[in-house]
Each structure stands twice: as C-alpha cells, then as structure tokens.
Amino acid sequence: MGLETATIIAIAATVASAGGAAYSAYSQSEAADEQAKLQEEQAAQEKAAAEAEAAKIREKGQRTAAAQEAALAGSGVKLDANGSGGALLAETDKLTEQDALAALTTGNNRAKLLEGEAAISRDKATSSLISGGFNVGSSLIGGYNSYQKSKSNTNLANSLNADTFYQRKAPKYTLLGG
C-alpha cells in the first residue's frame, strides 16, 4: 500500500469518526429536545386537568349549596348571614373553594415539576451538542496527529532506505590499499 492510499484511508477514517461524533451529538440533542417538548405538553395538560377538576368541584359545591338552601328553606330555617342556615351555606362555599384551590395547587405543582424536567432535558440537548463539538474536534485533531506521525515515520523510513541505498553503492576502498 502506497503513501497516498494510506493517507486517503487515514483521512476517510478521521472524517468518518468526526461525522459519527457529530451525528451522535445531533441525535442525542434531538431526542432531548423531543423529551422536553413532551414534558411541556404534559405540563400544559396537568394545568388544564387541574382547572377542569377545580371547575367540577365548584359546580358540585354550587349544587350542594343549592340543595342545602332548598332543604333549609323547606324546613323553615332562615337563610340570612347571621343565622345557622347562612353559616352552613357559607361553610359549604368555603370548603368547596378550598377543595377547588387544592386541586389547582396539586395540578400546578405537577406542571411545575414537568416544566423543570423539560428545562433539564433542554440543558441535556445543549450539552449533547457542546460535547459533540468537542468530540468532533478531538477526532479531527487525533486524525491530524496520526497523519503527522505517519508522515514523519514515512520520511524516516525513506531516509533510512536512501542511506542504505547509498551505502550499498559506495565503492569499497580502504586507505591501506587492501
């Protein structure tokens, strides 16, 4: 194998190694970005589900309060704010709102957790690209160093071959005339 063929193979191997590092980094970055998008979508779904749950709780609370009001009025209990009927209705409203806010808080906390995970995934995407850039650079530098070493060894071998050639062709004279 001649020097040119070896050089071409070394360059091709270096390019393949650098290309593989770049593709790997890109693939990892894309996967992390997709994961982040999924987590952001899940966070939005958690928020929407929490809002829907809070709305259902409030609606159920209104129905309960209406049923209580009707039962109290049917029993002849006064529904003014100072009476026991009014206090019962106020307590129902208060508990309903607490339950609705608890549902919202739980959903929002889950959403924040998912948003945090999405941010971590985006950071992974960025680090994959940065790491990949270093790997590409490392592959190229390693290939260049191998090429320089190969070139240096070839020059040394050529030099040794030339020295051997000249030693064989030199006349065999001695000073003593032998």
pLDDT at residue 63 in the model = 95
More confident residue, 2 or 29: 29
Rounded mean pLDDT of 22-44? Answer: 94
Give pLDDT, residue 10.
78
Query: 49-58: per-residue pLDDT in tens?
Result: 999 999 999 9
Higher pLDDT, 31 or 170: 31
Taking the C-alpha atoms of residue 178 and residue 174, their distance in angstroms, rounded to an integer, is: 6
Torsions phi, psi for 14 (to 5 deg): -65, -45
Average pLDDT rounded to a whole number, residues 89-102: 95
115 CB-near residues (< 8 Å, 6+ apart): 39, 40, 43
Of 101, 99, 92, 96, residue with least CA distance to 65 = 92
Would you state the pLDDT for residue 170?
Answer: 53
To which residue do tokens 């952001």 refer?
40
Mean pLDDT of 148-160: 67
Average predicted confidence (pLDDT) for the chain:
85
Task: Report the pLDDT value the prediction gives residue 147, as an integer from 0 to 100.
Answer: 76
pTM passes above 0.75: no
The answer on pLDDT for 157 being more than 80 is no
Joined tokens for residue 86: 């009014």
Q: What pLDDT is attached to residue 14?
A: 86
Give the type of residue at 30. E
pLDDT band, residue 13 (cuts 50/70/90): confident
Average pLDDT in the 56-81 region? 89
Question: Quick one: pLDDT at residue 1?
Answer: 47
Spans of all domains in the chain: 41-147
Q: What is the pLDDT of residues 117-143, one digit of tens each?
A: 999 999 999 999 999 989 888 888 888
Q: What is the pLDDT of residue 117?
A: 96
